[in-house]
Amino acid sequence: MKILRFLLIGSIAFSAVRCGTKQSALQQGKLVNKLIEKDTFRIQAQWAMSLNANLIGQIGLLPPGSAPGNISLQGNGNYFRKMGDSLSIDLPYFGERQLAGNIYGSNSSSGIVFDGKPESNKYKFNSRKKSHEYIFEITNQTESFRVLLIIYENLSTRMTINSSHRTTISYTGNIEQKEK
């Protein structure tokens, strides 16, 4: 009798937790859809994945808590903001620069920095993956970038940036409402 009662209580508790998780995922999906519809959001990158991560790790340039495959961006003030048809980007870069830019002795950053309107902006909803996908083509003073941004219904994001002057880098993080 005690075993039957234990199984009954356990299955009810499991069902309650499972329903709560499903509802939370549904709420997250609604929030993502609302942010996409408003066309105003912010992404905070939490991890960077560089093609040259092993080299960076060998020379001791990885921040604490990082491994060659995953570079921690915790405590880093990075961001990717979309405000209507404009973008504001400030992301750290870990990788190899293929063409030297005007970095030293200038106001230029060694990270990926952009403020303005992209040259092209493509959006589609991937119904199979239930994700929102953007492709931005942007150019700053010295180089051009192709940004692939994927926003998932669970608020997580993946961004891959190809550059005319640097090796490819990817970032994972979370989408949030743009701060007021």
Domain residues of the chain, as ranges?
2-177
- Beta carbons of 145 and 162 less than 8 angstroms apart: yes
CATH topology (fold) of 2-177: Lipocalin (2.40.128)
Task: Give the residue among 161, 126, 136, 137 at the shortest CA–CA distance from 32.
Answer: 126
pLDDT tens digits, the chain, 180 residues: what are they? 555 554 445 455 444 444 444 558 788 888 899 999 999 999 999 999 987 666 666 666 667 777 767 888 988 889 999 999 999 999 998 877 776 655 444 445 688 999 999 999 999 999 999 999 999 999 988 899 999 999 999 999 999 999 998 889 999 999 987 654
> What tokens were used for 119?
């040259």
Residue 127: partners with Cβ closer than 8 Å, 6 or more residues away: none
The DSSP secondary structure of 105-138, one letter per residue, reads TSS--SSEEEEE--SEEEEEEETTTTEEEEEEEE
49 forms beta bridges with 170
CA atoms lying within 13 Å on the CB side of residue 144: 7
Work out the number of other CB atoms within 10 angstroms of the CB of residue 19.
Answer: 10
Query: How far is C-alpha 107 from the geometric centre of its chain's CA atoms?
Result: 26
> What tokens were used for 17?
């937790």
Q: What is the CA radius of gyration of the chain?
A: 20
Query: Residue 128: exposed, middle, or buried by beta-carbon count in 10 A (0-12, 13-18, 19+)?
Result: exposed
Give the C-alpha separation, 61 to 42, whole Å: 27
CA atoms lying within 13 Å on the CB side of residue 141: 8
pTM over 0.75: yes
Reported residue count of the chain is: 180
91 forms beta bridges with 112
| CA–CA distances in Å: residue 15 to residues 6, 11, 22 | 14, 6, 11
